[in-house]
Amino acid sequence: MKLTHLLLAAALAALGTSTFAQWQWIDKDGRKVFSDRAPPTDIPDKNILKRPGNRVPPPVPADAASAADAPASDTAPPVPAGPAVGKTATGLDKALEAKKKQAQEAEAAKRKAAEEQYTKAKVESCARAKQAKTTLESGVRIGRTNAAGEREFMDEDAKAEELKRVQGIIAKDCQ
């Protein structure tokens, strides 16, 4: 009876290991992918790092007939550590440089738009300040609304103070 339990446990353990079968490969973007399904057909054999027990033979290209004669190995070939894992020196570098260039162009465009907006605001501020200066120097009575919501007229001291503030704005924004 114990022998049958032992055989049953061994059979269940053997079946259980196949459920943890994992494929491991490096995709076209250079990222490591783990899956319980085989990689897409566009992934080259050299980028497949791990197969589940080598039950499914890897697809053999027609030009690699000599590779088909070699015995299959249970372990994947050693993969160098570091950022160049599974990456072609030219393909990924070009893609990375293209992304960097695109990011730099986007940043430059963003900076240019912000600079244009700032320049436009300065021009508008300058025009308003010049108009206010002309009004203050005209000698006309100027009314404004105070904090209580009441209308009041500016006296000469208030006009002089406002004229000083407006001249500071003109000096800063109208260059």
Q: Is the pLDDT of residue 27 over 60?
A: yes
pLDDT of residue 113: 95
Q: Compute the distance between CA of residue 115 and CA of residue 109 in angstroms, rounded to an integer.
A: 10
Q: Compute the distance between CA of residue 2 and CA of residue 5 in angstroms, rounded to an integer.
A: 5
Q: Is 162 helix (H, G, I), strand (E, B) or coil?
A: helix
Q: Compute the distance between CA of residue 65 and CA of residue 113 in angstroms, rounded to an integer.
A: 59
Q: Is the pLDDT of residue 122 over 60?
A: yes
Q: Is the pLDDT of residue 38 over 60?
A: yes
pLDDT tens digit sequence for 74-95:
455 555 554 554 445 566 788 8
Instruction: Output the CA–CA distances (angstroms, integers) from residue 54 to 73, 81, 106, in the order listed.
Output: 8, 24, 47
Q: For the chain, how long is the longest CA-to-CA vector?
A: 116
pLDDT of residue 93: 85
pLDDT of residue 54: 57
Six-digit token string for 39: 């990689």
| DSSP symbol at 51 | -
Q: Compute the distance between CA of residue 55 and CA of residue 149 in angstroms, rounded to an integer.
A: 86
Main-chain dihedrals φ then ψ at residue 63, nearest 5 degrees = -80, -5
Average pLDDT over residues 4-27: 68
Average pLDDT over residues 138-162: 90
Per-residue pLDDT band for 73 (boundaries 50, 70, 90) equals very low
Give the mean pLDDT of the chain: 78
Per-residue pLDDT band for 66 (boundaries 50, 70, 90) equals very low
